[in-house]
Amino acid sequence: MKSSSSHRIPFKMKAVSSYHTDCKQLLCILLIFLTVLSCKKEITTQVPELPFNPFDTITYNQSVVPVSLPDSASFPGIHQYILAVKCAVNGCHDGSFEPDYRTVQSAYNTLVYAPVLKNTDDSLFTYRVTPGDTALSWLWYRITTNDATLGRMPLYDTLYPAQRARISEWILDGAPDLFGNSPGVPAYQPAFYGIVAYLPDQDDFRVDTLRGGIITNPFMVTQNSNVKIWIGIYDDITPPFQFTFNKVKFSTDPFNWDNAIEVNLESQILPHFETLFDNQLPFYLYCTINTSAFNVNDVVYIRAYVQDEDHSTATEIPEGGSQIYIQTYCSFIVQ
C-alpha cells in the first residue's frame, strides 16, 4: 500500500533544517573560542629601565702589569732569594721559632733590633741584626761562624759567598726595611721567657718540671725547703745583670699583693744555662726563698719587678692582667 503524501518530508525542508543545525554548532564553537580568549592572562614583555650604575662609566685598563723582581741586595731580595728558600724550611724558620722567615715582614721584624736569646758565652750580641755593624749582628755571626758545636746557618744547606755578601751589604747599609727606610731603635720593656727552680739543699734537684704533666700547673715543692728560682728575662738594650731595679714578690692570692713577701732578685754576669721548652736558655736573675713561710697546699704566685735603662718605672712580670695560665705557670704549690 502506498504511503500517504502527508507523511513525507520534502527534500528542501531537510536541507534547511540541516543548515540551521550547522549554524548553531558553528556559533557555539565561536562563543567557546571567544570565552577562552577573554580568560587568557595578558603577558607583558616590556623590560623596565635599569637605574644608573656609576661603575659603567669606568674604563678599565686591560693591560698586564709587569712583574718587578726585587733587587738582590735589598731586604725583599734577600728574603726572596735566600731566607725563604734556604731557611724557611719545615721544622726550622717556618714559624716554629724565631727568626720567622715565612714572610718578608715577619723576617724583618724578627731580625732587625730583635733581641738575641741564644747568645755567645760572653753575651756579645744584643740584637740579631744591628744596623750598620756586622760584628754586632748575631745573624752575620751565625752564617759565618766556624764553631762546630754551634754550627753555621743554614745547618742543612749552604750559602754561597755572593749570598753572604748581599746580607753583609744590607747590614752595613743600615738594614733598610721593605721600602728602603732606615729602622729606628725600639724601646721594648723587659720580657719574660721562663722559670727554672732547684732545691740547693738537695743537690740542686730540679723541681720546676714537677707539674703533674701539665706545663701551666704550679710546680711542686716541699715545705721547709730552700728553693732557688731562676727567672728568664731579656731586654732589647739593657743586659739583665744591669737592670736598675730587681725585686721578686710571693703571694698566695694572685689578686692581692698588699701582704706579699718581697725578696731581692740577684743577678750575675755569666748566665746559668738550662734546658727549657727543648732549648738551652740563659738565666741571669735568681732568688732564694724558704717555703716555711707558707702552709701545706698553698699555691704561691711569683712576680718579678725589673727596670731597664730606657724606662722610668719597673716592669711587672707577669703583670696583673696576664692570662691565668701564665700566672699559674709562675707559681708553686707547697706539699
Cα–Cα dist 92/81, whole Å: 17
134 in any annotated domain: yes
Q: pLDDT tens, 218-256?
A: 999 999 999 999 999 988 789 999 999 999 999 999 999
Closest CA relative to residue 222, chosen from 302, 291, 299? 291
Q: Does residue 35 surpass a pLDDT of 50?
A: yes
65 in any annotated domain: no
CB atoms within 10 A of CB 314: 18
Residue with cell 565561536: 30
Residues 90 and 134 in one domain: yes
> Burial level of 84, CB count in 10 A (0-12/13-18/19+)?
middle
Residues 206 and 319 in one domain: yes
Name the pTM for this structure. Answer: 0.53
Share of the chain above pLDDT 90, in %: 60
Domain end point (choices 172, 201, 226): 172
24 in any annotated domain: no
pLDDT at 26: 66
Contacts of 1 (CB under 8 A, 6+ apart): none
Domain end point (choices 172, 204, 223): 172
- Mind giving me the DSSP string for 39-61? HSPP---PPPPPPP-GGGG----
Q: Which domain holds residue 148?
A: 75-172
Domain count, the chain: 2
Q: Does residue 98 surpass a pLDDT of 70?
A: yes
**What value does the mean pLDDT take over residues 116-134?**
89
299 in any annotated domain: yes
Cα–Cα dist 137/129, whole Å: 4
Residue with cell 725578696: 263
Q: pLDDT tens, 314-331?
A: 999 998 888 899 999 999
DSSP category for residue 193: E
Residues 159 and 99 in one domain: yes
221 in any annotated domain: yes
User: Are the C-beta atoms of 93 and 114 separated by less than 8 Å?
Assistant: no
Residues 158 and 123 in one domain: yes
pLDDT at 11: 47
239 in any annotated domain: yes
C-alpha cell at 27: 556559533
φ, ψ for residue 18 (rounded to 5)?
A: -65, -40
Residue with cell 738550662: 274
Q: pLDDT tens, 271-295?
A: 999 999 888 999 999 999 999 999 9
